[in-house]
């Protein structure tokens, strides 16, 4: 592995990078020296793509060209119409990853090609895959995806790694911009074991912003005739003002939202609206109550009484709201720890995991749990669970099934994820066929199904007829089957490498074409077209490597066997 592995907290509102430097977790500042980069991408005319702070600034003037909170769209088939282009969420997220990567390389002074990326525990398989693909498009191999609260616990455990044997039950409450996650862990010296997690990937500070926005927009419309809804520019400005007011109300009792506004005839007016903390808390209460409810659920699943908790760790910017402390105190009577900054703890944990992955944190380990149950569909549409939610990872589970019809020689394995009793209530991860099953009366053949889930919650499935030995393996997700992510990564690597190599022009053109075709296959193609694009790219990459070894392109025509001397 060249370069080093970094940790990335890919947040809905902000993203952070960190790494482990001489045993300390260090936040990697961006190009502007800031410790975090807003997760905003703006597409300027002429093809320029702005990312981070500058995109956030541009969002006000050009809201239609700007994408925020793309993390919420990962794993969906949304087509974003931005700056006159149709983009997939992965394409937009890839711009963010590319920026994080180049800023990290600038700061560290060495190439960065792999990362550990944190994800909400509640992220589905499709969301995880989509995130991996976005990273790959930016040339970053997301070696491992770590659940955000687990990362927060890991950062904390890292600080305590010198304390031998301390056995503590830890609750991590992570309330960010777009998601809420809660995890209960047991931390014992250098080992850290997740007991249970719960969360909602559609619950965060943005929802509170939205509630306040609706109220303020209605007031401005009623009192001043300002129509924010019909005016993208105004509405964008109001979103920013509302978020700022919300943040301010964490430390003040009341604040003013003032909207600089050019009235008819160019007269500048300053319509304003006062928001009190009490009013904000009325609006935020249902959301915060839901987080407390999920926290109680996680404690129940972990079979931990609130009084047994030895530490409460808060993370995510929304945890700074006084209402959070107040409502959480009804359940957990313990003051939160404040050793690691709320906004940085997840990134610090990603850095620790990155060190674990690269073998630089020897002896330090974390055991996570499955965020979902996984199983197969059986007769009558029911779901037979193999791996239970909250089971320790990595997990390997087997069960023997059989046929449902006489003489049946092929079985369909329908892999599902979720907690519903019926297969139809859950997420379908894929179907595959096992042929070559021994022909016999129904119920006689013995078909072994094995599920193996790695630390990133990625699933491999194997089905085998124990009598005939016929076998079928599929990687439902994960690096093995993640052909889109793999192809995206290969394309980016090849493009980067060829830009740095002096090439004979024919080869350079072919490489460029093959990279473009590969990227097209990633975004629009099916598995077959991806396989084809990959074969072409791999063949050309072979030539590219040969050219690099020689320092020049050594492409020549075919030789004639035994040809002229």
By CB under 6 A, is residue 553 in contact with ligand AMP?
no
- CA geometry: angle at 149 spanning 332 and 202, to 5°? 90
In the bound state with ligand AMP, the residue whose beta carbon lies nearer, of 340 and 463, is 340
Instruction: Examine residue 394 and say whether the peptide bond preceding it is cis (omega within 30 degrees of 0).
Output: yes
Examine residue 285 and tell whether it contacts ligand AMP (CB under 6 A).
Answer: no
Q: Given candidates 75, 317, 349, 478, which one binds ligand AMP under the rule CB under 6 A?
A: 317
- Judged by CB under 6 A, the number of residues near ligand AMP is 18
User: Per CB under 6 A, does 318 bind ligand AMP?
Assistant: yes
For the CB of residue 172, give the shortest distance to ligand AMP in the complex, in Å.
13
- Kindly state the smallest distance separating residue 530's Cβ from ligand AMP, in Å: 33
Q: Does 343 bind ligand AMP (CB under 6 A)?
A: yes
**Stretches 10-18, 91-99, 210-218, 368-376: which one binds ligand AMP (CB under 6 A)?**
10-18
Smallest gap from Cβ 78 to ligand AMP, in A, equals 21
**In whole angstroms, what separates CA 312 from the centre of its chain?**
24
Applying CB under 6 A, does 37 fall inside the site for ligand AMP? no
Enter the DSSP assignment of 337: B
Per-residue x/- mask for ligand AMP, residues 383 to 422, rule CB under 6 A? ----------------------------------------
Work out whether 52 is an interface residue with ligand AMP (CB under 6 A): no
**In the window 215-254, what residues touch ligand AMP (CB under 6 A)?**
243, 246-247, 250
Contact region with ligand AMP (CB under 6 A), list: 22-30, 40-48, 316-324, 484-492: 316-324
Shortest Cβ 437–ligand AMP spacing (Å): 49
Residue 198: count of CB within 10 angstroms of its CB: 26
Give backbone dihedrals phi and psi of 554, rounded to 5 degrees, phi first.
Answer: -115, 35
Q: Does 176 bind ligand AMP (CB under 6 A)?
A: yes
Under 8 Å CB-to-CB from 80, ≥6 apart: which residues? Answer: 67, 73, 86, 87, 88, 89, 92
SS (H, E, C) 497-518: HHHCCCCCHHHHHHHHHHHHHH
Q: Are 305 and 333 in contact (CB under 8 A)?
A: no
Residues with catalytic annotation?
9, 71, 148, 174
d(CA 10, CA 13): 9
Do residues 310 and 169 lie in contact, with contact meaning Cβ atoms separated by under 8 Å? Answer: yes
Q: Is 316 in the site for ligand AMP (CB under 6 A)?
A: yes
CA distance 206 to 201: 12
Residue 199 contacts ligand AMP per CB under 6 A: no
* CA separation for the pair 337, 127 (Å, rounded): 31
**Structure tokens given for 232:** 């993208």
Note the residues at the interface with ligand AMP (CB under 6 A): 11-14, 176-177, 205-206, 243, 246-247, 250, 316-318, 320-321, 343
């Amino acid at each position: 592995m060249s370069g080093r592995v970094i940790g990335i907290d890919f947040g809905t509102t902000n993203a952070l990078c960190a790494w482990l430097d001489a045993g300390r977790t260090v936040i990697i500042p961006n190009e502007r020296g800031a410790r975090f980069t807003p997760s905003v991408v703006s597409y300027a005319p002429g093809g320029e793509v702005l990312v981070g702070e500058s995109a956030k600034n541009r969002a006000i003037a050009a809201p239609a060209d700007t994408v925020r909170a793309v993390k919420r769209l990962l794993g969906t088939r949304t087509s974003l119409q931005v700056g006159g282009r149709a983009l997939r969420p992965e394409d937009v997220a890839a711009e963010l990853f590319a920026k994080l990567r180049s800023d990290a390389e600038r700061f560290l002074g060495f190439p960065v090609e792999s990362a550990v990326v944190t994800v909400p525990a509640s992220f589905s398989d499709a969301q995880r895959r989509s995130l991996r693909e976005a990273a790959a498009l930016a040339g970053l191999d997301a070696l491992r995806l770590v659940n955000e609260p687990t990362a927060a616990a890991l950062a904390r455990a890292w600080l305590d790694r010198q304390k031998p044997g301390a056995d503590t039950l830890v609750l991590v409450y992570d309330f960010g911009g777009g998601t809420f996650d809660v995890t209960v862990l047991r931390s014992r010296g250098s080992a850290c074991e997740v007991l249970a997690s719960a969360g909602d990937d559609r619950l965060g500070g943005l929802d509170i912003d939205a509630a306040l926005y609706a109220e303020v927009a209605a007031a401005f419309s009623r009192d001043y005739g300002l129509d924010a809804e019909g005016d993208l520019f105004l509405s964008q400005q109001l979103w920013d003002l509302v978020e700022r007011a919300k943040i301010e109300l964490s430390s003040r009792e009341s604040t003013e939202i003032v909207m600089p506004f050019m009235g008819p005839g160019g007269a500048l007016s300053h319509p304003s609206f006062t928001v009190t903390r009490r009013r904000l808390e009325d609006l935020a209460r249902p959301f915060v109550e839901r987080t407390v409810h999920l926290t109680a659920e996680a404690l129940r699943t972990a079979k931990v009484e609130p009084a047994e908790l030895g530490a409460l760790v808060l993370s995510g910017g929304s945890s700074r709201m006084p209402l959070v402390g107040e409502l959480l105190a009804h359940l957990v009577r313990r003051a939160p720890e404040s050793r690691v900054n709320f906004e940085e703890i997840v990134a610090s944990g990603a850095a620790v995991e990155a060190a674990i992955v690269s073998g630089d944190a020897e002896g330090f380990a974390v055991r996570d749990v499955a965020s979902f149950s996984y199983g197969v569909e059986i007769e009558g549409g029911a779901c037979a669970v193999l791996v239970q939610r909250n089971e320790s990872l990595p997990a390997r589970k087997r069960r023997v099934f059989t046929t449902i019809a006489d003489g049946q020689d092929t079985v369909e394995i329908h892999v599902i994820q979720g907690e519903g009793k019926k297969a139809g209530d859950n997420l379908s991860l894929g179907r595959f066929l096992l042929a070559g099953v021994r022909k016999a009366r129904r119920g006689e053949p013995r078909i072994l199904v094995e599920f193996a889930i790695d630390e990133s919650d990625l699933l491999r499935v194997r089905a085998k007829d124990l009598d005939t030995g016929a076998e079928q393996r599929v990687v439902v997700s994960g690096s093995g089957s993640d052909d889109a992510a793999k192809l995206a990564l290969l394309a980016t690597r090849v493009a980067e490498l060829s830009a740095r190599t002096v090439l004979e022009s024919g080869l350079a053109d072919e490489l460029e074409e093959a990279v473009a075709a590969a990227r097209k296959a990633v975004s629009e193609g099916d598995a077959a077209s991806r396989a084809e694009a990959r074969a072409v790219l791999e063949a050309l990459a072979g030539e590219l490597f040969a050219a690099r070894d020689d320092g020049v392109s050594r492409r020549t025509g075919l030789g004639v066997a035994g040809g002229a001397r």
